[in-house]
Structure 1
Amino acid sequence: MDGEINNFIKVWILTNTSLCYCYYIAAKIPKGIIWLISLLAIFYVFIILPLNLHSFHLCGPTTFFLVWLGIFKLLPFSFNLGPLSPTPPTLVQFISIACLPIKIKQNPPQKITPKHRSKPSNPSK
């Protein structure tokens, strides 16, 4: 079991390293086909990494998070679409959104209405 836990830790360390690459490459390469080509290696890594795990209880969720969520969130990201675009401000938010089933809710801007000031009543009358 110790070997399986070590493999699990290695898989997620490589996943986080790959997502760091994706986050930092966003600032260096123009969006579009070139960016997609630079992410193809990450897609391959995400497909291959869960195969290192032999336990169904570790391999199943890891496959779901990496292959299903990770690739299908990074694919639109390469064309400046989807939940990762615009790039989240921090690396932790980027990794969380890319590999976890979470969705960031945007608060709609609140309308500021001017308060009507009533004239103070004159107590002397």
Structure 2
Amino acid sequence: MPSASASTIVFEQPCPIRDVLDRIGDQWSLLVLEALAQRTKRFNELHREIGDVSRQMLSRTLKRLEEDGFVSRTVYAEVPPRVEYALTDLGRSFLGPMQQLVEWADANHWAICQARLQARAKQRN
């Protein structure tokens, strides 16, 4: 497939912030990226590590991350077939900002929960 120049690309979502955050900000993408941060893994290994994600949702999430260029999928011609998932260069470049977000969330989770409780209490009054 010929590569498109920047002037011929039609963006589904013209706002880059909304476009990227809509894709990686779902319930599972960050967990999948974090699970692949150290090394290549197979589907079942990812499923066990993440835990409470359904197989269908994990499959869907991996497909979306592959479509967006964060994850590569390699199929080996073996019986039974072996499929491995790994971060691409783009996926690895996101680990730093992702880690900052995770650290910020950890550091501020208590304050956010307190603010929610206060907002609910105000709504009741």
Same-fold call, TM cutoff 0.5 = no
Q: By percentage of residues, which structure has more strand?
A: 2
TM (norm. structure 2) is 0.29
> Which structure is larger by alpha-carbon Rg, 1 or 2?
1
Higher RCO, 1 or 2 (CA under 8 Å, sep at least 6)? Answer: 1
